[in-house]
Amino acid sequence: MTGQPKNTTKNLLISLTVLVAVAVAVWAALSIDPMGRRGAGTGRDFDKELQKLKKFDLSLLKWSESLPAMPVSMDSPVALTVLDDGNICVGGDKAVVILSVDGKEIGRVDLPFAPQALAAADKKTYAASRNIIAVLDSDGHEQARWAPLDDVAHITSLAVSDEYVYAADAGNRVVMRYDRKTGKRTYKNGLADSGAFLSGFNAPSPHMDVALSSAGDLLTVDPGRSRVQFRDVYGDVLTSWGTQGSEITKFHGCCNPAGIAILADGSIVTYEKVLQRVKVYTPKGKLVSVVAGPNEFSDHPKNTHVVPDIAVDRHDRILLLDPVRKAVRIFKRKVAPRPTTGASR
Amino acid sequence: MRFLGACILVLLSTTVGASGKEAFKYPPPDLGPDYVAPHTSMPEITHEIPPIVDVAILVIALTLASYVALKKRSRTGTWLLCVASLAYFGFYRQGCVCPIGAIQSVAEAIFNPAAAISLAVIVFFILPLMFTLFFGRTFCAAVCPLGAMQEVVLIRPLRLPKWLTCALGLLPCVYLALAVLFAATGSAYVICRYDPFIALFRLNGPAGMLILGASFLVISMFVGRPYCRFLCPYGLLLGWASKLSWKRVTITPDECIKCRLCENSCPYGAITTPNADTLPDDRKIGAITLVCMLVVAPLAIAASAWIMVRTAPSMAKMHPTVRLAERIVREDAREVSDTTDASQAFRESGRPTKELAAEAAEIRDNVTQGSGWAGAFIGLVIALRLISLATRRTREDYQADRASCVACGRCYEFCPVNPRNRAPQDGGDG
User: Is B31 an interface residue toward A (CB < 8 Å)?
Assistant: yes
Across the interface, which of B188, B222, B343 has its CB nearest the CB of A17?
Answer: B222
pLDDT tens, residue by residue, A203-240: 888 889 999 988 888 999 999 999 999 998 888 999 99
Q: Is residue A338 part of a domain?
A: no
pLDDT of residue A336: 59
CA distance A157 to A260: 10
In chain A, which residue's Cα lies nearest the Cα of B213?
Answer: A25
Q: Which of residues 249-308 of A touch B (CB under 8 A)?
A: 299-302, 304-305
A-chain CB neighbours of B334 within 8 Å are 300
Residue B101 vs residues B45, B107, B193, B217: alpha-carbon distances, Å? 23, 10, 10, 20
Q: Are B159 and B224 in contact (CB under 8 A)?
A: no
- The distance of B56 to chain A (nearest Cα, Å) reads 34
DSSP line for B81-117: HHHHHIIIIIIITTT-S-HHHHHHHHHHHHH-TT---
- Residues of chain A with C-beta less than 8 angstroms from the C-beta of B218: 17-18, 21
Number of compact structural domains in chain A: 2
Model confidence band, residue A330 (pLDDT cutoffs 50, 70, 90): very high
Mark yes or no for CB contact A32/B341 under 8 Å. Answer: no
State residue A35's pLDDT score: 64
> A139: distance to nearest CA of chain B, Å?
36
- What's residue B280's pLDDT? 64
DSSP string, A181-212: TT--EE-GGG--TTSSSB-----SSS---EEE
Single-letter amino acid code for the residue at A265: D
Residues 6+ apart with CB under 8 A from B228: B140, B144, B146, B147, B150, B235, B268, B406
Does residue B57 register a pLDDT over 90? yes
Given a cut of 90, whether residue A169 has pLDDT beyond it is yes
Average pLDDT over residues A13-40: 80
Residue A97: closest CA among A119, A121, A122, A80: A80
Q: In a mutagenesis test of the B interface, which of A10, A32, A201 is the best target, namely the one with the most B β-carbons within 10 Å?
A: A32
In this prediction, residue B338 carries a pLDDT of 75
Q: What is the pLDDT of residues A183-192, one digit of tens each?
A: 999 887 666 6
The nearest CA of chain A is from the CA of B207 a distance in Å of 8
Closest CB from A41, A203, A300 relative to B323:
A41
Percent of chain A with pLDDT over 70: 87
Alpha-carbon gap, residue A79 to A328, rounded angstroms: 10
Which residue of chain A is at minimal alpha-carbon distance from B315? Answer: A35
Task: List strands edge to edge, sheet with A95-99.
Answer: A77-82, A88-92, A95-99, A105-110
Residue A261 lies in a domain: yes
B384/B389 Cα distance (integer angstroms): 9
Q: Which of B57, B249, B52, B237 is nearest to B134 (CA)?
A: B249
The predicted-structure confidence for B5-19, as pLDDT tens digits, reads as follows 444 443 444 344 333
Contact yes or no for B29 and A203 at CB 8 A:
yes
Angle subtended by helix axes B99-111 and B171-184, to nearest 10: 40
Residue-level pLDDT at B15: 42
**Cα of B220 to nearest chain A Cα, Å:** 9
Which residues of chain B are within 8 Å of residue A207 when distances are taken between CB atoms? none
A339 inside domain = no
pLDDT range class, residue B386, cuts 50, 70, 90: confident
CB of A291 within 8 A of CB of A60?
no
Q: Is residue A154 part of a domain?
A: yes
Task: Compare A300 and B136 and report the one with higher pLDDT.
Answer: B136
Tell me the pLDDT band of B388, cut-offs 50, 70 and 90: confident
Q: pLDDT category, B27, cuts 50, 70, 90?
A: low
Residues B192, B198 contacting (CB under 8 angstroms): yes
Using the Cβ of B30 and the Cβ atoms of chain A, whether some distance falls under 8 Å is answered with yes
Nearest-angstrom CA–CA distance, A341 and A336: 15
Q: Can you name the residues that pair with A85 across neighbouring β-strands?
A: none
Instruction: Using an 8 Å CB-CB cutoff, list chain B residues near A152.
Output: none
Question: pLDDT digits over B112-133, tens only?
Answer: 888 888 899 999 999 999 999 9
User: Which residue of chain A comes nearest to B223, CA vs CA?
Assistant: A18
What would the mean pLDDT of B217-242 be, rounded to a whole number? Answer: 94
- The H-or-E segment that residue A331 falls in is strand A327-333
* One domain, residues A139 and A183: yes
What stretches of B43-170 show up as alpha helix (H) in DSSP?
A: 51-66, 75-85, 99-111, 119-135, 138-142, 145-153, 162-168
pLDDT > 70 fraction of chain B, expressed in percent and rounded:
85
Higher pLDDT, A202 or B47: A202
Give the residue from A37, A38, A150 with the most B CB atoms within 10 Å of its CB, the best one to mutate: A38
What number of residues does chain A have? 345
Q: Work out the minimum CA distance from B404 to partner chain A, whole angstroms.
A: 22
By CB atoms closer than 10 A (0-12, 13-18, 19+), residue A7 is exposed
Among candidates A24, A33, A38 on the partner chain, residue whose Cβ is nearest the Cβ of B215:
A24
Question: CA-CA distances (angstroms) from residue B164 to A24, A283, B36, B175, B239?
Answer: 19, 77, 69, 17, 19
pLDDT confidence bin for A34, thresholds 50/70/90: low
- Give the single-character DSSP code of A236: -
Band the pLDDT of B281: cuts 50, 70, 90.
low
Best of A10, A12, A18, A169 to disrupt the B interface by mutation (most B CBs within 10 Å)?
Answer: A18
* pLDDT for residue A90 is more than 90: yes
Q: What is the distance between the alpha carbons of residues B137 and B133, in angstroms, rounded to a whole number?
A: 8
A233: contact with B, CB 8 A cutoff = no
**Cβ-defined contact of B323 to A18 (cutoff 8 Å):** no
User: How far is B387 from B159, CA to CA, in rounded Å?
Assistant: 25
Answer whether A46 touches B (CB < 8 Å): yes
Which ipTM did the prediction report?
0.76
Interface touch B343/A50, C-beta < 8 Å: no
CB-CB neighbors (< 8 A) of A304 in chain B: 339
**Partner-chain contact B33 A199, CB within 8 Å:** yes
Tell me, yes or no, whether A30 and A79 share the same domain. Answer: no
Q: Could you tell me if B317 lies within 8 Å of chain A, comparing CB atoms?
A: yes
Q: Is B335 an 8 Å CB contact of chain A?
A: no
Q: What is the mean pLDDT of residues B127-154?
A: 94
Residue B125 vs residues B53, B106, B121, B258: alpha-carbon distances, Å:
16, 8, 6, 38
Q: Decide if pLDDT at B294 tops 50.
A: yes
Q: In this predicted structure, what is the pLDDT of residue A36?
A: 61
Mean pLDDT, residues B280-292 taken together: 77
**What value does the mean pLDDT of chain A take?**
86
**Would you give the distance in Å from CA B37 to the centre of its chain?**
48
Three-state DSSP class for residue A125: strand
User: C-alpha distances in angstroms, A102 versus A107, A207, A269?
Assistant: 14, 29, 22
Q: Would the CB atoms of A40 and B33 count as touching at under 8 Å?
A: no
Q: Do both A18 and A145 map to the same domain?
A: no
- Chain B contact present for A197, CB below 8 A: no
Residues A11 and A116 in one domain: no
Q: Side chain identity at A68, as an amino acid letter?
A: P
The residues pairing with A222 across neighbouring beta strands, listed in sequence order, are: A227
Same domain, residue pair A62 and A149: yes
For residue B269, which of B226, B216, B217, B219 has the smallest C-alpha distance?
B226
Report whether B403 contacts B242 (CB < 8 A).
yes
Q: Is the CB of A34 less than 8 angstroms away from the CB of B222?
A: no
What is the average pLDDT across B184-202? 92
State which residue of chain A sits closest to B317, comparing Cα positions. A35
**A85 and A18 assigned to the same domain:** no
- Going B266 to B269 to B272 to B275, the CA torsion angle's sign is positive
Residue A48 near chain B (CB below 8 Å): yes
Partner residue opposite A36 with nearest CB, options B190, B222, B323: B323
What's the Cα-to-Cα distance from A211 to each of A125, A179, A184, B311, B353, rounded to whole Å? 15, 16, 20, 59, 37
pTM of the model: 0.61
B65-91 pLDDT, tens per residue?
999 999 988 999 999 999 999 999 999
Question: How would residue A10 be classed by pLDDT, with cut points 50, 70 and 90?
Answer: confident
Residue A297 scores a pLDDT above 90: no
| Confidence grade of residue B419 (pLDDT, cut at 50, 70, 90) | confident
Across chain A, which distance is largest between two alpha carbons, in Å?
A: 113
Contact A48 B338 (CB under 8 A): yes
Which of A21, A36, A202 has its CB closest to that of B29?
Answer: A202
| Residue A237 amino acid letter | V
Q: Supply the pLDDT for residue A4.
A: 59
Domain annotation covers residue A341: no
Contacts A–B by Cβ distance under 8 A: 126
Give the structural domain span for A165: 51-333
Does the beta-carbon distance from A34 to B188 stay under 8 Å?
A: yes
> Per the CB < 8 Å rule, is A200 touching B30?
yes
Q: What are the residues facing A211 on neighbouring strands?
A: A219
Residues in chain B with CB shorter than 8 Å from the CB of A50 are: 338
Do residues A63 and A29 both lie within one domain?
no
Q: With CB atoms and an 8 Å threshold, state whether B222 touches A18.
A: yes
Interchain proximity B194–A29, CB inside 8 Å: yes
Residues 6+ apart with CB under 8 A from A266: A213, A214, A215, A282, A283
> Nearest Cβ partner of A173 from B29, B158, B320?
B29
Maximal CA-CA distance, chain B: 97
Confidence band of A30 (pLDDT split at 50, 70, 90): confident
Whether A27 has a pLDDT exceeding 80, the answer reads yes
Q: Is position A239 within any domain?
A: yes
Mean pLDDT for the stretch of residues B285-310: 89
Could you report the per-residue pLDDT of A253-279, keeping only the tens digit for each?
878 999 999 999 999 999 998 889 999
Which among B12, B157, B25, B10 is positioned nearest to B97, based on CA atoms? B12
Q: By the CB < 8 Å criterion, does A32 face chain B? A: yes
Percentage, residues of chain A above pLDDT 90: 57
Torsion of CA B103, B105, B111, B114, to 10 degrees: -170
Q: Are A13 and A116 within one domain?
A: no
Contacts of residue B187, defined as CB under 8 A and 6 or more positions apart, other chains included, come to: B181, B315, B316, B318, B319, B320, B363, B367
Q: Is B30 exposed, middle or buried (0-12, 13-18, 19+ CB in 10 A)?
A: middle
Nearest-by-CA chain A residue for B32: A200
Write down the pLDDT at residue A120.
93
- The DSSP bridge pattern shows strands A88-92 and A77-82 to be antiparallel
pLDDT at A281 over 50: yes
A327 plus A213 within the same structural domain:
yes
Close Cβ partners of B179 (under 8 Å, ≥ 6 residues apart): B103, B104, B107, B189, B190, B191, B233
**A95 and A149 part of one domain:** yes
Q: B317 vs A35: CB contact, 8 Å cut-off?
A: yes
Yes or no, beta carbons of B332 and A21 under 8 Å apart: no
CB contact under 8 A, B222 and A300: no
- The number of residues in chain B equals 430
Chain A residues with CB under 8 Å of B349 CB are none
